[in-house]
Amino acid sequence: MLQEQAALLGIELVVLDETNCPVRQINQNEKHVAGSFRDPEKIRELARRCDVLTVEIEHINTDVLEEIATTGVEIGGKMKKVPVHPSWETLRLIQDKYLQKEHFQRAGIPVAPQMVVNAGESMSNSLQEASNAFGLPFMLKARKESYDGRGNFKITSPEDFETAVNTMGKFSLYAEKFLPFRKELAVMVIRTESEEGETKSLYAYPTVETIHEDSVCTKVFYPPRHVSNEICEAAKDVASNVVRTLKGRGVFAVEMFLLENDELVVNEVAPRPHNSGHFTIESVPSMSQYKAQLYSILDIIPSSIKLQPRVSSAMMINILGGAQEDSHHSLVDLTYSIYRDSMDIFLHLYGKSSKPGRKIGHITVTSHAPDSNLEELAAPLIKEADRIRQ
């Protein structure tokens, strides 16, 4: 999606990923670096070919990114420094969810209470301490490498301790108070900064509601359902405050819980384009999250920036791979056959091979009609997407 946007803007992207990765469908330049984005030498090679580096996944080697940004990479006997956006410091901080939340807490941003869980023999005692402090249920989470809920374990009773030790014991862990939220909200924020690294501007997209099932984001609603304007504006303020504390340019997704008492608590940040911003491709056509990512890392955000959607409502449905490799075909077919006067349907398939639970595409539906109910209009799509996932 970043490449689609870059092509329209005449911005050349060089990608580090496997030889036949999805982006090669539309990126055919000779500069492609084929290999793993975890391989330091490949990352250095990418840096040699670029003016600025950015990431689409935060689980990467930040030591080599630090080296590239501060010491540089050797090219033709000379050292070349390549800026990394967002900053390697931000990426390193965000990689560790426990440290990430400590950082937000120090900045006065509301987060769930948390505590480190010991490894090895004292893990069970540690879980007992967490249970005493937070009550049951509580969340046991891997500090690093987690995504789509992989690395999360909900402890509902002391009987779960043993399973937790067996399945999670190999990770570096922390425990987090379980928050019985009313909704999950998210805000994408664009951050630009001066050469000195000071925040220059922060632009927040409108607040969206995110639905997670089995810890995976399955749907996104703009605007959030049954949430007041005041709360949506408050969420934008919280998200901007969060991103102000981070370093580097780019778009950042701030995930939040809206509690029953309308309090907002920050869950975590994704330092990159994100599910919760996919709806902007069609809904904010003059500045989708991908355009914003390119413009911000190149520091050419136009002064005409407008983030208000051009539609009255939008919904994003993730296409998750099903039990069979072709399980999602029925859903794809449905996007061709369903017709609603007041709803537009946009299918995105990424060209990834399908695996159970893997995000292989998404569908965005939008409406210009002020009072249309997209959940109702798109009910067959939602039902089919849910069925495949089972």
Binding of ligand ATP by 146 (CB under 6 A): yes
Please pick, from the candidates 22, 83, 86, 151, the single residue that binds ligand ATP as defined by CB under 6 A. Answer: 151
Closest to ligand ATP by CB, 131 or 267? 267
Binding of ligand ATP by 178 (CB under 6 A): yes
Q: State how beta strands 173-177 and 216-222 pair.
A: unpaired
Binding of ligand ATP by 342 (CB under 6 A): no
Q: What CA–CA distance (Å, rounded) separates 356 from 339?
A: 28
Minimum Å gap between C-beta 212 and ligand ATP is: 4
Minimum Å gap between C-beta 311 and Mg ion is: 25
Residue 282 interacts with, from Mg ion, ligand ATP, none (CB under 5-8 Å by kind): none
Minimum Å gap between C-beta 62 and ligand ATP is: 17
Residue 139 interacts with, from ligand ATP, Mg ion, none (CB under 5-8 Å by kind): ligand ATP
Minimum Å gap between C-beta 83 and ligand ATP is: 25
Q: How would you label 245-256 residue by residue, b for 16+ Cβ within 10 Å and e otherwise?
A: bbbbbbbbbbbb
Minimum Å gap between C-beta 317 and ligand ATP is: 16
| H-type alpha helices, 135-228 | 160-168
The window from 122-130, 147-155, 281-289, 339-347 that contacts ligand ATP (CB under 6 A) reads 147-155
DSSP 314: E
Residue 193 interacts with, from ligand ATP, Mg ion, none (CB under 5-8 Å by kind): none
The window from 102-110, 247-255, 298-306, 344-352 that contacts Mg ion (CB under 5 A) reads 247-255
Q: What CA–CA distance (Å, rounded) separates 153 from 138?
A: 9
Which residues between 252 and 271 bind ligand ATP (CB under 6 A)?
A: 255, 267-268
Q: What CA–CA distance (Å, rounded) separates 160 from 12?
A: 51
Q: How far apart are the first and last CA of the chain?
A: 27
Which residues between 80 and 119 bind ligand ATP (CB under 6 A)?
A: 112
How is residue 139 written in tokens?
A: 């969340």
Reply yes or no: is the peptide bond before residue 40 cis, omega within 30 of 0.
no
Residue 239 interacts with, from ligand ATP, Mg ion, none (CB under 5-8 Å by kind): none
Minimum Å gap between C-beta 216 and Mg ion is: 9
Angle at 265 between CA 100 and CA 295, to 5 degrees: 60
The answer to whether residues 27 and 15 touch, using CB atoms and an 8 Å cutoff, is yes
- Return the SS3 of 348: strand
Q: How many residues does the chain have?
A: 390
Interacting residues toward ligand ATP by CB under 6 A: 112, 139, 141, 146-152, 176, 178-179, 184, 212, 215, 255, 267-268
